[in-house]
Structure 1
Amino acid sequence: MIVSASTSQSLASALAAETGEPLAATAVERFPDGEFQVSVPDFDAQRAVVVCATTTADAHLEALQLQDAVREAGAEEVVTVIPYLGYARQDKAFEPGQPVSVRAIARALSTGTDRVVTVTPHEESVREFFDVPCTTVDAAGVLADPLPDLHDPVFVAPDAGATDLAATVQDAYGEGAVDHFEKTRHSSTEVELEPHESAIADRDVVLVDDIIATGSTMAGAVAHLQEGGVGRVFVTCVHPVLAGTARLRLARAGVEAVYGTDTVERAETTVSVAPALADALDG
């Protein structure tokens, strides 16, 4: 049975349709002191697939409560699908005295589940922080699906580390070049960004990344593309977090459209990772 948290209702519904498993009803009660309780009053299955994008602190707690609720209701196996793993970029202590936040999150989530499935984590190594088996699903390929017909496209990663993502999208699209931005720092405040190899004049460019949070990096990249006489600019990402005014920032920079998956449910969600998750659940 598919059990959805409030953050992943569309994805959980798509996953239920993809797998043929029933979709559980959930209920949330808020208390005057600010606490809340999420329950599964009609749960009746041997396996529970809890689907929860941990986009907020409340979402982390909701995942833990759902794990416990299905165990209490008699689930013999619990699989926790975390389409977007919050705190994944805090995968090391950057300063003395700091926590490895994603490790703490992973350990907590491991206590109530038999297995974890997550989608395109910022670093593949986060799997090692879970105390139960963790499967990662690469969803970058589906980002090619919503793209329009492109003119002599270049798929550009924001840095060399994300080049494989751009290559995956390019391969799924079927044509075009792959490149990444190189940063040249001229001063403490002046940084020049330009594609490493490809000429971009009059060509359509697709900027590819795993997560777009504030959009500031992407907006800066687009500004440099515009100076180079680029054709149309599109942005695509697995996790469209788009915090605050990120979408406005990208629009003002000249981005024609932003495409994301349903790992984080936003207006920019145009493609689902449900088929890939269904395959992982069967595996």
Structure 2
Amino acid sequence: MNEQKETVGQSPLVFSLNDHPLKNLLTRAIGGQQGGFDTRQFPDGESYLRVSSMIEKSPCVVIADLSHPNDKYLPLLFLIETLRELGASQVGLVAPYLSYMRQDRRFIDGEAVTSRIFAHSLSRHIDWLVTVDPHLHRYHALDEIYSVPSRVVQGAPALAQWLQGQNNLLLVGPDSESEQWVSNIAEFSQHPYVIGEKQRLGDRNVEVTLPDIHVHGGRTAVIIDDVISSGQTILQCIKALQSKGIDSIQCVAVHGIFADNSDRALMAAGLSQLVTSNTIPHSSNAIDITPQLITPVIDMLNLSGKSS
């Protein structure tokens, strides 16, 4: 990790409300120290929080995986605002997975555009944001909805590096949205790839069709996606591959949410291996995203330090 740059001012204090795998790795990589705090819940479900580190004039970094955000958001705000009240020179957020990006328009009259509401709320509490592969579909950049400086880290290089050197693979993108992403990975890892077509019939109902892949017979298919939530897209892609005579199938993704134990369903459907990066803690974490985070986080610390 020789990408480290000198940070401005004091050594940053790094906090994580949950035991996230990036906490120790990123703290060491940016030359920081782990911040101390105690937290628990009162019998009525309200949160108690006490920060035990000396905070005044220290830059603070909070790591928060925001999958399943409804349970995590209030405790996160309590920590961030307490750090501010105790005199932090800056409070930046590293959200390896950033939630509430899906609803980016009002599809039906009366719907809440939750991506804008969430971004507006979160921006009021932080000085900067670093995240990995947010769901930028109709938005072209995070600054369309976030009012603080932000950096988006691409997970594709980490996936490509993990795949490089493995032989006899066929990379599979489940839909047209994945084509540019999968093609870049394939170019780096030097594997052939195909792209499927996906028809979404509902939140948990999709159909995936694949082109003719008979020329790739005998290869191991590796389905590549940015995020696995319900797992239905991957499940249908597995079935499509099996219908074409491909029996050796793996799946590699940046974010693994695995709602309703969908990881078990995917393995039961015929995956021989399921691999994710460590943006969201899971037993499938085999790809470390830390090297991609170092420079953006240090850049944000320096930027905010100069402006404070």
Query: TM-score, with normalisation over the residues of structure 1?
Result: 0.90
The match for 2:259 is: 243
1:36 is the counterpart of 2:52: no
The match for 1:49 is: 61
> Distance between the aligned counterparts of 2:172 and 2:115, measured in 1?
28
> Distance between the aligned counterparts of 1:184 and 1:102, measured in 2?
23
The match for 2:155 is: 139
The match for 2:291 is: 275
CA deviation after TM superposition for structure 1 residue 26, in Å: 2.4
1:71 is the counterpart of 2:87: no
CA contact (8 A) 1:7 1:55 kept: no
For residue 177 of structure 1, the aligned residue among 188, 192, 210 is: 192
CA deviation after TM superposition for structure 1 residue 270, in Å: 1.0
CA contact (8 A) 1:158 1:218 kept: yes
For residue 110 of structure 1, the aligned residue among 123, 127, 136 is: 123
Deviation readout 1:224-272 (Å, 9 max, x if unpaired): 1112122521111111111112111111221111111111111111122
CA deviation after TM superposition for structure 1 residue 39, in Å: 3.4
What SS does the aligned partner of 2:234 have? helix
Q: Which amino acid aligns with 2:232?
A: S
CA contact (8 A) 2:213 2:244 kept: no
Select the structure with the greater relative contact order (CA < 8 A; seq sep ≥ 6).
2
> Distance between the aligned counterparts of 1:122 and 1:248, measured in 2?
24
1:16 is the counterpart of 2:27: yes
1:234 is the counterpart of 2:247: no
> Distance between the aligned counterparts of 2:76 and 2:206, measured in 1?
43
Task: Classify 1:200/1:2 alpha carbon distance in 2 versus 1 (closer, same or farther; 3 Å).
Answer: farther
What SS does the aligned partner of 2:218 have? coil
> Which 4+ runs in 1 deviate beyond 3 A?
144-151, 189-192, 195-200
Q: Which amino acid aligns with 1:22?
A: Q
1:156 is the counterpart of 2:168: no
CA contact (8 A) 2:15 2:60 kept: no
What SS does the aligned partner of 1:176 have? coil
Deviation readout 1:155-205 (Å, 9 max, x if unpaired): 111101111221233234x211122102489xxx99561137774421111
CA contact (8 A) 1:8 1:263 kept: no
> Distance between the aligned counterparts of 1:252 and 1:156, measured in 2?
19
Root-mean-square deviation over aligned CA pairs: 2.3
CA deviation after TM superposition for structure 1 residue 14, in Å: 1.1
Where in structure 2 are the equivalents of 1:2-13 lying within 5 Å?
2-7=13-18, 9-13=20-24
> Distance between the aligned counterparts of 1:117 and 1:8, measured in 2?
19
> Distance between the aligned counterparts of 1:233 and 1:150, measured in 2?
14
> Distance between the aligned counterparts of 2:74 and 2:219, measured in 1?
46
> Distance between the aligned counterparts of 1:22 and 1:162, measured in 2?
38
CA contact (8 A) 1:179 1:196 kept: no
Moved more, 8-17 or 110-119: 8-17
> Distance between the aligned counterparts of 2:46 and 2:193, measured in 1?
48
The match for 2:107 is: 94
1:216 is the counterpart of 2:228: no
CA deviation after TM superposition for structure 1 residue 148, in Å: 8.4
Deviation readout 1:49-103 (Å, 9 max, x if unpaired): 1111112212122221221121122111111111111122122222111111121
> Distance between the aligned counterparts of 1:165 and 1:145, measured in 2?
14
Give the count of matched residue pairs.
279
CA contact (8 A) 2:214 2:244 kept: no
